[in-house]
Amino acid sequence: MSQLGDPFSRRSFLGASALAWLPVGALLPGEGGGDPPPGFPPGIDLYRQAYENWAGEIRTDALWTCVPRTADDVVLLANWAHSQDFALRPRGFRHGWSPLTVTPGTTGADRVVLVDTTRHLKAMTVLPGAVRVQTGASMDDLLAFLEDAGLGVTNTPAPGDLTVGGVLAINGHGTSIPAAGETRTPGHTYGSLSNLIISLTAVVWDGSAYRLRTFQRDEPECAALLTHVGRAFLTEVTLRVGANQNLRCVSRVDIPTSELFAPPGSGATRTFASFLEEAGRIEAIWFVFTDHPWLKTWSVSPERPPTSRPVVTPYNYVFSDNVPKPVSDLADLLINGAWFLTPTFGQLQYTTAATGLTATLTTDLWGPSKNLMLYVKPTTLRETANGYAVLTSRAEVQRVVSEFATFYKELLHTYAARGLFPVTGQVEIRVGGLDDPAHVGVPGAVTPALSAARPRGDHPEWDVAVWFDVLTFPTAPGAAAFYREMEQFFFTNYSGSYAATRAEWSKGWAYTTEAAWADQTMLTSTVPDTYRQGPNPSWDAALATLNAYDPHRVFSNPFLDVLLP
């Protein structure tokens, strides 16, 4: 893999600043960028720029990057790429981990052009009960636009520096199921954002050329495009939305893991499942080698509770979004080889959160949904993460998290006994609903075929997905081997009797002892098979659709050629 400097530098991990997202060092043709790709369409801006993903694990030579102004420009680019045997990769804000956009081995000599959608393809229009939005728009801008119109969504990722197209490609989600007694508000879903799509416009092959085509949610072919995992190019979507909601977010740091993650029937009262039942929206952040997680619960609250502080902007946890100096100094020591300080680092992160919540008056917040659901900025700590969705029933959530917590803690201490500290960050646990197409309000709506939140027809009692992420610095010794053991646990422990595992597309999975996204059995069998189970298997039909609409694999890369052949 070609590198530009150290890909795992202190700056990479510590979220140096939003400067990471600017076209630093961009070279126009004739300014040292080399000869442009042959026959490149005139009138579309083209330059060279290095590509780096969120944690710096994928960093390439300067790649040709173009900036279409319209959806028709994307069609022009697709037909050019087909004629010249080039690939096009949509490029947003690069806030991702897996090699769905660019693979680690890509160099500036490869026949690939990145397509920056964030500059121009970001128009938005409010419709009755819906919003039409181009896929280069950021989630920050979309949610603010909806808020201004009195509209919102229920289930959205915590970062706002994500494009709408990127979120939909990997069935982006937040954390939400209905609380006890809660009735779903029309226009909302507890499933992924892909489940909100009413219609979408994609660049597809029509038998003689690439062109724009709009698919309605009740068309069978639409199922493969709702979550396409990078194998299609969407230019615009219409999303179902509903009335905006006020939320209350309460943080707690006083419940030990022995109680929060206690096994069912233990007699514990302050359990993960009890808070989920009460609020419906929950996240546990469990810092490494600590025993009191940071627990956040969100609940629908039309009126401000007397103890809640109102907020009018998102990103309210400044101690988390801007790395404090003691944390950055200790992280620097770890990155430079003092991995034995990992337990101290975990305790410092917990202390920073616990004291920061009190000091910034953020233990109890209230306001419009956007301001409570967006809380991860580009300036936060840059770590790598694995990711899995465990499909199960609401009644079994406590069992799922308890079994995970027991395994994780034992594995962590087993590695520590060998002098290895592969996890330097935190475990994050959320719970979301599955993709129910009835929520979109379109008769005959299809279910996203490749969404990790797709229901299992053979297990109608499974109604939730428990999302797990474990974060670390990519250079932590033994990280890949640790993740591989954890992955084997997920796929063997939650294997179909009361729960089942799927990979989270945007995160790390398919581990060998050396790397993520490299285990060929996982890539070609285990992960695809999680969509082949039950009376309505979706994997092979989705692949057939994606290949029919892009038979020349203009919208692919070497990794996707293996995963989605």
Number of H helices, E strands in the chain: 17, 21
392 phi and psi angles, rounded to 5 deg: -160, -175
Sign, CA dihedral 364-368-372-378, equals negative
Cβ neighbors of 283 (< 8 A, separation 6 or more) are 175, 295, 296, 428, 429, 430
Which residues does 306 contact at the CB level (< 8 Å), separation at least 6?
none
Q: Annotated catalytic residue: which of 57, 221, 236, 283?
A: 283
What's the CA gap between 161 and 256, in Å, rounded?
33
Backbone angles phi, psi at 66, to 5 degrees: -120, 165
Q: Which run of H or E residues covers position 279?
A: helix 272-279
CA distances from 61 to 7, 51, 94, 126 (A): 12, 7, 15, 40
Nearest alpha carbon to residue 95 among 382, 354, 361: 382
Phi, psi for residue 7 in degrees, rounded to 5: -70, -20
CA distance 268 to 274: 10
Q: Is 132 helix (H, G, I), strand (E, B) or coil?
A: strand
Q: Which of 48, 89, 91, 95 is catalytic?
A: 95
Query: Which of these is catalytic: 57, 383, 396, 428?
Result: 428
Output the six-digit token pair for 66: 């173009």
216 C-beta neighbours (distance < 10 Å), count: 16
User: Is 283 annotated as catalytic?
Assistant: yes
Helix, strand, or coil (residue 394): helix
Residue 428 appears among annotated catalytic residues: yes
Cα(85)–Cα(47) distance, integer angstroms: 19
Euclidean distance between CA atoms 159 and 483, whole angstroms = 24
Concatenating the DSSP letter of every residue in 295-364 gives EEEEEE-SS--TTPEE-SSS---HHHHS--HHHHHHHHHHHTT-GGGHHHHHHHHHHHHHHHHHHTT-SE
In three-state secondary structure terms, 109 is coil
**In what helix (H) or strand (E) does residue 140 lie, and over which residues does it extend?**
helix 139-148
**Are 234 and 137 spatial neighbours (Cβ–Cβ below 8 Å)?**
no
Query: Which two tokens mark 437?
Result: 């197409």
Given the residues 231, 399, 430, 502, select the one marked as catalytic: 430
217 contacts: CB under 8 Å, gap ≥ 6: 197, 198, 199, 437, 440, 442, 445, 446
- Which among 526, 253, 505 is positioned nearest to 385, based on CA atoms? 505
Q: d(Cα 271, Cα 131) in Å, to the nearest integer? A: 38
Which amino acids are annotated catalytic? 95, 283, 428, 430
